[in-house]
Amino acid sequence: MKEINLTVNNRPYRLIVLPHRTLLEVIREDLGLTGTKEGCGLGECGACTILLDGKAVNSCLVLAAEADGKEVTTIEGLADGDKLHPVQQAFVEHGGLQCGFCTPGMIMSAKALLDENPTPTEEEIKQAIAGNLCRCTGYTKIIESIKAAAENMGGK
Ligand code: FES
Ligand code: FES
């Protein structure tokens, strides 16, 4: 057992975790934040993507103990009250989702990209979401959504 301190969506948590538990398990099971999805559990699908100290990571590959002292952002942390984050809004308006299973991870990867590079090229968008698999959309609408989000955010 190890005590860890995490800030998740700007809220501080002190948790006791077993050494083998992943950050994904702790986020979903201990904190009840089930917006982050578990697909493969092996680092291959990107459904579990969150931001760890601002960087997009597969939370199924991070041990909770390794995240001690770090800042986590999940999909639940993006909206501002009832107002969707511009990336979420763009996915809704531009058909960037169908079944929605890949969507939280896809949006977190897109957010990490736009935070670092507010005016990405199509190639940079493709690279940023290369680790996020979608079985439904064929990716075109996802790429359009991320482009629209970048425009709506005005390069900020
Ligand atoms: S569940 Fe983490 S990459 Fe698939
Ligand atoms: S919308 Fe269904 S997997 Fe992407």
pLDDT in tens, 62-115: 999 999 999 999 999 999 999 999 999 999 999 999 999 999 999 999 999 999
In contact, 15 and 6? CB cutoff 8 Å: yes
The pLDDT of residue 154 is 87
Tokens of 52: 């760890």
Let me know the angle formed at the C-alpha of 122 by 117 and 125, rounded to the nearest 5 degrees: 50
**Ligand 1 centroid to 78 CA: how many Å?**
20
Burial 74-102 (b: 16+ CB within 10 A, else e): bbbbbeeeeebbbbbbbbeebebbeeebb
The pLDDT of residue 155 is 63
**Ligand 2 centroid to 115 CA: how many Å?**
23
* Backbone φ, ψ for residue 68 (5° rounding): -55, 130
Average pLDDT, stretch 14-33? 98
> CA gyration radius for the chain?
15
Q: How far apart are CA 137 and CA 126, in angstroms?
A: 14
Q: Is 37 helix (H, G, I), strand (E, B) or coil?
A: coil
In contact, 60 and 24? CB cutoff 8 Å: yes
Tell me: the pLDDT tens digits for 105-142? 999 999 999 999 999 999 999 999 999 999 999 999 99
The proportion of the chain whose per-residue pLDDT surpasses 90, expressed as a percent, equals 98
Does ligand 1 lie within 6 Å of residue 27's CB atom? no
Tell me: pLDDT of 18 over 60: yes
Confidence of residue 156 (pLDDT cuts 50, 70, 90): low
Among protein residues, the one whose CA lies closest to atom 3 of ligand 1: 43
Average pLDDT, stretch 24-36? 98
The pLDDT of residue 81 is 93
In contact, 132 and 102? CB cutoff 8 Å: yes
